[in-house]
Chains A and B, each alone.
Chain A
Amino acid sequence: MSALSAAALRDQTISGDASPAETVDAAVARCAAVGAGRERLNVFAWADDADARDHAALALRQRDQGGTGLLLGVPVAIKDNIATLTLPTTCGSNILAGYVSPYEATVVTKLRAAGAIPFGKTNMDEFAMGSSTEHSAYGPTRNPLAPDRVPGGSSGGSAAAVAAGIVPVALGSETGGSVRQPASFCGIVGVKPSYGRVSRFGLVAFASSLDHVGVFGATVDDAARGLRVIAGHDPRDATSVDAPVPDYHGAHEQSVKGLVIGRPREYFPDSLDPRIRERCDAALERLRELGAEVRDVSLPHTSMAIPVYYIVAPAEASANLSRFDGVRYGMRVEGEGLRGMYEATRSRGFGPEVTRRILLGTYVLSAGYYDAYYRKAQQVRTLIGRDFTDVFASGVDVLFTPTAPTTAFPIGAISDPYEMYMSDIFTATANLAGVPAMSQPIGLVDGLPVGGQFMAAHLGEMKMFAAAYALERALGSEARA
C-alpha cells in the first residue's frame, strides 16, 4: 500500500513537507520496486517519468501560487481509454497505436485543476471489453497481491497501480463492473458514480448508456476525494447531470445509526461461494452493531442483468467502434479499395473479444432481430431499473452485496467468453440502472481479497460513502491483505 493517503499527501504538499517532484520520484521508485513494468505486473500501457515530472512542476507552481486543490501533489494513474494530451490514449488496442489525443478529457482537466499529477496510462482490456485485463494489445496485467492471478478488469492496470502502492488514486472506467470487480480482486476501493455524475467527455466510448468514469482509492477516503474532484456538470456531455457535488469525503463523519441496509437475496444465490457469503454477512453484522438496520429485500430481475447487458453493451459498442476506420487517426492497413482498407484496418486493429462483441452487437441490431433482442433487452432494463427505484422507495438507504462471485482467478483460467461475462453478475445491474455503487475490501478467502459492494439510489453517493467509511473503520486491518 502507498505510504501516504491522498489527504496526507495533499496536506504535506501544501505545508511543504512533501514536494510534487519527490512524490513522483517515490512513485517511480515504487514502480521499480514492485516490478510495474511490462516484464512483471505490466501496470501501465504508457508510462513516462518525464511526463509525470512535467505535471509535478505544474502542481508545484499551483502550490507556490497558494493553490489548495483537493488532490494537490497527489499522483493519479489514468486508464488508457481517457483522453490525455501528453501521453497516448490507445484503449489497449492496436487500432489506436501511436494515437495521442489532441484534446483532453474533462475528468483529466478537473484532476489537473485540483493539483493532481497525472501518472501514466494504465493497462486495460482492449476497449474495456473484459473482466481480467488479459485482453490488451500490451499483454496481461498481473495482480500485485498474487502475480499469477488477474487483477480483474477491464480497469486492471489502474487497480494494480493503487494496489501496488504506486498511487493512492487512479481513474478507471466502468461499463459493467470494470472498476468494482478489479477493486474487489485487488483489495482496494473502487467507485462507480451515478450515471451522469461524472462527465464522459474524453472517455473513449464502449457502450455510451452504460459507460462511467470511476475512481480507485487505496481507502474509501482516497476514492471519495478522487470522485469529489472529477464529479460535476459538463456542458460537453449531454448526459451529464446538473446538480451540486457534495463533499463525499465529508461522509466519514456521518453515522450509520438508523441507516437501512438492504440485503438483496438475488445477490446471495445458493451457488455463491459460502466463504464470500460469510464475509458479506460478517460485514453486515458489523454494520448492524453500529446501529444500521439490515433488511432482506428482493430485486427480482437481477438474473436478467447479464443477458440484458450483453445485448445492450455490444449493440452500442458496434456503433461506437465504427469510427475506428483508418481514415482520420490511428492504425490504417491498406487493402483492396475502400472496403478492403476498412476490413484490413479493423481486422488487424481489433482483438478477438472486441471483434466478437462488435459482431454480436451488429447482429442484435440487424434487420429482423432488433425486436427480439435489443428492444426486449431495453424493456427488461427498465424493469431492472424499477427494481432499484422500488427498493429505495421502500425505505432502504443502501444495498449491500458481494462485488463479484469469485476472488481473483489465475491468468488464463477462463477461456469461455460467457463464463467471463458472468464475472459482472453482481455489478452490471448498477450500470444498467445508472445507480452509484462501490466495492471495498471486506476480508480474505485463501489469502485473496473479497470485495463487498454498496449501492445507493441515483445521486445517493453520500449515503453510500457514509456506509463505506463506517464499514472500513469497523473492519480495520482485518479487511485487507
Chain B
Amino acid sequence: MTTSAEGLRDEWELVVGLEVHVQLKTRTKAFCSCSAAFGAPPNANTCPVCLALPGALPVLNAHAVELATLASLALGCTVHETSVFARKNYFYPDSPKGYQISQFDKPLATDGFVEIGTHADGTPLRIGITRVHMEEDAGKSIHDRYPGVTAIDLNRSGTPLVEIVSEPDMRTAAQAGTYLRLLKQILEYVDVSDVSMEEGSLRVDANVSARRWGETTLGTKTEVKNLNSFSGVERAIEVEFTRQVAILNAGGTIAQQTMLWDANASEVRPSRTKEGSHDYRYFPEPDLPPLVLTADWIAARRAALPELPAARRARFIAEYALSEYDVDVLISTSALADYFESVARAHGGAKSAANWVMGEVLSYLKSRGEGISDFPVTGADLGRLLDLVRDGVISHTAGKQVLQIMIAPGGNPAEIAEREGLIQVDDAAQLGEWLEDVIREMPDESERYRGGEKRLQGVLIGAAMKKSKGRADPRKLSQMLAARLAL
C-alpha cells in the first residue's frame, strides 16, 4: 500500500556526506599559549595573537599536532609527512584576523574510513574519509544579550580543531547516524576530544543531495547546518531529502545553498547567506612554514594508538564468547570496555562479568547520570564479589546487596558478606529444618506438588528462602525438596 508521494520518493536515492568539526583536548590554543578552557569571563583568555593585534604571529601547539595525528591514524588515514597551513579569508567579527588558519590543498591526512556495518553480500560497508585537517576555531558571537548589537567573546578564538570530511558515501539518514556514533566512539577511544555535540566539541554539517536510482553523478547538494544532536542530524537529513525530492518531482532544480535545521519546528530553511559570494581566497599561510612530520614520528604515534573499537569488538567476541549485542554495549566507551576487562580478568568468567557490568553497574550509573569513571568499585573488587557468587558463598541476590555496600560506604566483598550475615547456608540439616517448617505450614501446596503440580516448586522454595532470610542455597534446597516430596 504505497501512496503516490512515497512512490515518487522511492525513485530517488539519498546521498549524504558529513563534515565534522572536533575540538582537540589541549590545554592551550592552537597558535598561542592562552588557555583553551571553557568558562572564563568574556575575553579573559586572549592575548596579542588571538586578538589579532597588529604584529602578532602564530606558533603551532605541538600537542594539537599530536592529537590530530592520533585522530587521523585512528580513522585509517594516511598522515602526510608534509602538510601546509593556509589562510581562509572572510570577514566576521568572531574571526579576528579576517582569515582563519586552516589547511587546504595539503591537509594533514587523507584517505581513511569508518566501517559502519556490512552490505547485504557480507562485505564491509565503509564510509570513506576524504581528509582530516587542522584548523583554528572562531570566537563566539552572542546575538541576544544586548539590544541592537552583537557581542563577541574571543575566548574560543584560536582553539584547535580537526575537520573530518567524509566521502558522500551514506545512503540513508540512519547510516549517517551510525557513522557519527562510530566516529565519536573512535575519537573517544583515542582520547583526543570530549566529542560532545551538546557542548559543541563535536559539530556536524551535512551535505545532502538526491539522484535517481542508478545515476552515477551526484545531484546538486545543499549543506545543512545548525545540527545539535545525532538524532537531529538524522531527522534533518530526512526532512531535507524530502524537500529536495518534492522539488525534483515537481520538475524543479535544487539550488546549491546552505540550509538551517530548526529542531523545534522539524524543518529546514535557507540561510540568508548569499551563495556564490563565497570566495575564500585560500593561499599558503606565510607566517607558518610547512608542517613536517618524520615517518618515524608518525610510526611511533601509530604504535601508541590504543586498541580501537572495531578491533576490540572482534576480540571480545572471539575471546569472551559474548553476543554481539553485549559486546557493543561493553565497548561503547573505552573506559567501560577497560572496566569490563578488569572484572573479567579478576573473576575469570566473562559471561557473568558482562552480565553484572551491563546490569548492576550500568543501571546504577544510568540512575545517577554518571560514567564508568565515576563508579567507585574497582574492577578487581567486583571480580572478587563475582567469585563469591559463582562459588555459592553468597547468593546472587546477596551479591547485589553486597555490591550496594561496596559502592557506599565501601569495603571488601567477603568481609561485607560476613558482616551482613549473607554467607549462603548449604548445611543439609539447617536446610532440611527450613523445608520441614514450610511443608508443615503449607500442607495443601505440598500435597499438590507431590501430586504433580511442579509449578508450585517456586512457591515452596520461595517460602523456604524467606525463612532463611535469603541465605539458603536455592539449588540445594530444590534438590532436597524434590527428594523429600518424591512419590
Contact = CB atoms under 8 A, between A and B. Distances in A.
A and B touch in the complex (CB under 8 A): yes
Interface of A: 81-83, 89, 91, 96, 99, 101-103, 105, 200-205, 207-209, 235-239, 315-316, 318-319, 321-325, 327-329, 338, 342, 362, 365-367, 370, 374
B93 A362 contact: no
Contacts of A208: 286-287
A370 B98 CA distance: 19
Interface string B136-158: 00000000000000101000000
Given A200-B57, A325-B93, A328-B96, 9 more contacts: A81-B55, A102-B53, A103-B53, A103-B56, A238-B57, A323-B54, A323-B96, A328-B52, A362-B281
Contacts of A99: 54
Contacts of B52: 323, 328
B91 A202 contact: no
A232 B205 CA distance: 45
Contacts of A239: 286-289
Contacts, number: 105
Nearest to B91: A342
B99 interface: yes
Contacts of B91: 322, 325, 342
5 contacts: A81-B54, A239-B288, A325-B98, A338-B150, A366-B281
Contact of B99 (A83, A319, A328): A319
Interface of B: 48, 51-60, 87, 89, 91, 93, 96-99, 150, 152, 279, 281-283, 286-289
B288 A238 contact: yes
Contact of B54 (A101, A235, A238, A316): A101
Contacts of B54: 81, 83, 89, 91, 96, 99, 101, 204-205, 323-324, 329
A82 B56 CA distance: 11
Given A319-B99, A327-B152, A103 B48 contact: yes
A380 to B, nearest CB: 16
A101 B289 contact: no
A99 B48 CA distance: 14
A239 B91 CA distance: 26
A319 B59 contact: no
Nearest to B48: A103
B59 A238 contact: yes
Contact of B55 (A82, A238, A321, A327): A82
Given A322-B89, A325-B91, A338-B93, A205 B99 contact: no
Contact of B58 (A103, A238, A328, A362): A238
A120 B52 CA distance: 25
Contacts of B152: 327
Contacts of A101: 53-55
A66 B87 CA distance: 48
B59 A209 contact: no
Contacts of B283: 315-316, 319, 365, 370, 374
A177 B97 CA distance: 26
B59 A83 contact: no
Nearest to B285: A208
Nearest to B46: A328
A81 B281 CA distance: 26
Contacts of A315: 283
Contacts of B287: 205, 208, 238-239
A111 to B, nearest CB: 15
Ranked 4 nearest A-B pairs via Cβ: A322-B98, A365-B281, A209-B286, A208-B286
Nearest to B43: A328
Contacts of A235: 59
Contacts of A237: 57, 59
Given A238-B287, A362-B281, A370-B283, A205 B89 contact: no
B55 A83 contact: yes
A319 B89 contact: yes
A102 B43 CA distance: 15
Given A208-B287, A239-B289, A318 B281 contact: yes
Contacts of B87: 319
B281 A327 contact: no
Nearest to A322: B98
Contacts of A102: 48, 53
Nearest to B287: A208
